[in-house]
Amino acid sequence: MDIVLATRNAKKIEEIRRMMSGIRVNILSLADFDCPDVQEDADTFEGNAIKKAVAISKCTGHAAVSDDSGLEVDALGGLPGIYSARYAGDGADDASNVRKLLAAMQNVPNESRGARFVCCIALALTDGSIYTFEGEVKGSIALNPEGSSGFGYDPVFYPAGHGITFARMDAGQKDSMSHRRAALEKLKAHLKKIT
Ligand code: IMP
């Protein structure tokens, strides 16, 4: 089965290709097609992932896989959530998002700094059926940024049971416990069944 990945992020494409080796799918990327960008304007990770997968499947005529992910912080009622990439507003980057998060958490005591990364992957098949797979990693928000690996909120996220932030881990260690990996494992198990 041909599957188009609804992302232009080279790191994600690489990770998904690696993960899918050994199963009978041919991974194509958006670079192989001329499809318009899809607005991520749904109000859940699942809604955004489904919207992208369906649009790309319709545009290409192949099955499509897309993902949406972000950080949910308990003390902020789940924010930044679906707004993770643009939490600090127009022109936000990783550094400004992290600064805004730490400022919002300034008076939050250690025992209330719980958070989770969430990833939702959607698979849209050419017969119109849709499947979603969710992964999460629980943890807590640091008082200050620590480490320089990874991206996004990695410098302020302590995965539960580990004494270091994601940004102090090497890529392999982070990937092995990430929300994206957990969702991808579920997608892979499903694809194994249907191919
Ligand atoms: P997207 O799903 O790639 O659009 O991710 C949305 C945003 O969530 C990113 O821009 C990051 O700010 C944040 N995010 C998602 N996954 C991670 C992660 O593994 N580490 C750090 N930040 C993440």
Per-residue pLDDT of the chain (195 residues; tens, 9 = 90+): 999 999 988 888 888 888 888 899 999 999 989 999 999 999 999 999 999 999 999 999 999 999 999 999 999 999 999 999 999 999 999 999 999 999 999 999 999 999 999 999 999 999 999 999 999 999 999 999 999 999 999 999 999 999 999 999 998 999 999 999 999 999 999 999 998
Query: Nearest C-alpha to atom 8 of ligand 1 is from which residue?
Result: 70
Domain boundaries of the chain, sorted by first residue: 2-194
- Helices (runs of H) and strands (runs of E) counted in the chain: 5, 6
Mutating to test ligand 1, I would choose from 84, 100, 116, 136 the residue with most ligand atoms within 8 A of its C-beta, which is: 84
User: What is the Cα–Cα distance from 176 to 191, expressed in whole angstroms?
Assistant: 20
Which residues share a beta bridge with 149?
A: none
Give the predicted TM-score (pTM) of the model. 0.95
Residues 168 and 146 sit within 8 Å (Cβ to Cβ): yes
Q: Give the atom of ligand 1 at the shortest distance from the alpha carbon of 166.
A: 20
Q: CATH number of the domain at 2-194, out of 2.130.10.30, 3.40.570.10, 3.10.150.10, 3.90.950.10?
A: 3.90.950.10
Is residue 104 within a helix (H) or strand (E), and if so which, with residue range? helix 94-104
Q: Which residues line the pocket of ligand 1, CB cutoff 6 A?
A: 67-71, 84-85, 97, 117, 150-154, 166, 178
SS3 content of the chain, % helix, strand, coil (to 5): 40, 25, 35
